[in-house]
Structure 1
Amino acid sequence: MSSRTPYKVLCVCLGNICRSPTAEVVLRHYCDEQQLNIVVDSAGTSNYHPGKAPDLRSQKHALKRGYDLSALRARQLIPHDFIDYDLILAMDLENLSNIQDIQRLAETRFGHVRARVALMSEHDQTYPKQALPDPYYGEADGFERVLDQCESSSQAWIEIFKQNLHKV
Structure 2
Amino acid sequence: MKILVVCLGNICRSPLAHGVLQHFVNERGLDWVVDSAGTGGWHVDNPPDHRAIAIAKRHGIDISKQRAKQLHNRHLDEFDYILAMDRNNLKSLLAQAKTSEQRARIQLFMGDREVPDPYYDNRLFEVVFQMVEERCRELLRMWEK
Fold match by TM threshold 0.5:
yes
Q: Using the alignment, how far apart are the partners of 2:129 and 2:56 within structure 1? A: 7
Corresponding residue for 2:9?
15
Corresponding residue for 1:93?
87
2:119 aligned partner, one-letter code:
Y
Corresponding residue for 2:121?
138
Q: Using the alignment, how far apart are the partners of 2:50 and 2:15 within structure 1? A: 12
| Alpha-carbon offset, residue 112 of structure 1 | 5.6
Q: How many aligned positions are there?
A: 145
Q: Deviations over 1:104-128 (max 9, x none)?
A: 3xx3xxx964971111111xxxxxx
Helix, strand or coil: the match of 1:153? helix
2:108 aligned partner, one-letter code:
L
CA RMSD of aligned residues (A): 1.6
Alignment identity in percent? 40
| Alpha-carbon offset, residue 34 of structure 1 | 2.2
Corresponding residue for 2:142?
160
Q: Using the alignment, how far apart are the partners of 1:114 and 1:57 within structure 2? A: 32
Residue ranges of structure 2 left out of the alignment (5+ in a row)? none
Corresponding residue for 1:69?
63
| Alpha-carbon offset, residue 31 of structure 1 | 1.6
* TM-score, length of structure 1 as denominator length: 0.82
Residue ranges of structure 1 left out of the alignment (5+ in a row)? 1-6, 123-128, 164-168
Helix, strand or coil: the match of 1:76? coil
* TM-score, length of structure 2 as denominator length: 0.94
